[in-house]
Amino acid sequence: MTPEAIDALFEAQTAAWPDLDRGVESLERAARRAFEIRGTRVDAVRIPHRVVSTTAPTDPAAIRQRPCFLCPENRPAAQTGIAFGPDMVVLANPFPILERHVTLVHREHAPQRITGPSGVGAMLDAARALPGYVVIYNGPRSGASAPDHLHFQAGRSRGLPLVERAGGAVDGMLTDPWRAVLVVAGDDPEDVEAGFRRLMSPLAARSPEADEPRVNVIVTFEGGRWTLLLFPRARHRPAAFHEGRLTWSPGAIDMAGLVVLPVAGDLEKLTADDIETVYREVSLPIDAAREILAREESS
């Protein structure tokens, strides 16, 4: 898997698969707004084709009642992919948010878990194969619309404000008044993975009843160096979503500063106060994130 292979995949698939062609065209026409909030840049985009993913029910009962759309027998007949290692296949995403948006799908129907054998190590491998891209993980309780099937996403990194800001970051934490982001960086993948697992351990201890703590993860690889951004989450969806005021269900891309809104009118009425409120609601409190980082640094 290389950026050139993904270019070729999109060229072939947009010619053969009308749904993907429409999705790419829709993304190109998407309306956008930019915000400056307390010195932090946040962008927002209206992408109507994301409505199914944004509003997807992800409770266990709903998942049991629908076929897994990532399993090969349930994918569209026109959708083809390219191999990534022995365990995964790379598919063009017909509902893109990013340029060259792909989904990296495990060949087996295994639960969405980043702590498993095909977890963060596979993300690091994918990022190394795709310079200029972000590799994304949405946890099963933090934005994944298929929590029953292990998958990552990837796309070109431009347009994600926090990723641009994190270039050259070192181990530690990036903060805004409303959001904490834990950072693991380095040129040795084993060290990066070990640092990530040390951060995940106290997060898991905070939610022992769950198979995995609420997290989103973004990995990049530039100049021979990985940067892993870990977004610890307090909840999946904000009050504005449940009350019908904003159809905004943040995943990793949103947490990185690109607010994705599928419903007409939401982009126009969105305010800086809305953005700050939602980030505060869905993010682990900054003091709690600092405690986790301090524990990792003292270990």
Domain ranges of the chain: 3-298
pLDDT of residue 140: 87
pLDDT at 52 over 90: no
CATH fold of the domain at 3-298: HIT family, subunit A (3.30.428)
Predicted TM-score of the model (pTM): 0.91
What is the spatial distance between Cα 128 and Cα 154, in angstroms, rounded to a whole number? Answer: 12
pLDDT at 32 over 80: yes
Q: Tokens 């790419």 appear where? A: 24
* pLDDT tens figures, 283-293: 988 887 788 77
Q: In which band, very low, low, confident or very high, does the pLDDT at 297 lie, cut at 50, 70 and 90?
A: low
Q: Which residues contact 23 (CB under 8 A, 6 or more apart)?
A: 49, 93, 94, 95, 96
List the 102-106 sheet strands across, edge first. 81-84, 88-92, 102-106, 151-156, 133-138, 215-222, 225-232, 180-186, 172-175
What is the spatial distance between Cα 252 and Cα 137, in angstroms, rounded to a whole number? Answer: 7
* pLDDT tens figures, 80-128: 999 998 899 999 999 999 999 999 999 999 899 898 777 899 999 999 9
pLDDT of residue 93: 93
Q: Which residues contact 258 (CB under 8 A, 6 or more apart)?
A: 42, 43, 44, 45, 97, 159, 160, 161
What is the spatial distance between Cα 197 and Cα 266, in angstroms, rounded to a whole number? Answer: 37
Q: Which residues contact 182 (CB under 8 A, 6 or more apart)?
A: 172, 173, 199, 229, 230, 231, 232, 289, 292, 293
- The partner residues of 218 in beta bridges, in order of sequence, read 136, 229
Closest-CA residue to 142 (of 207, 234, 48): 234
Evaluate whether 195 touches 184 at the Cβ level (below 8 Å). yes
pLDDT of residue 96: 93
pLDDT at 170 over 70: no
Evaluate whether 103 touches 199 at the Cβ level (below 8 Å). no
What is the spatial distance between Cα 231 and Cα 114, in angstroms, rounded to a whole number? Answer: 13
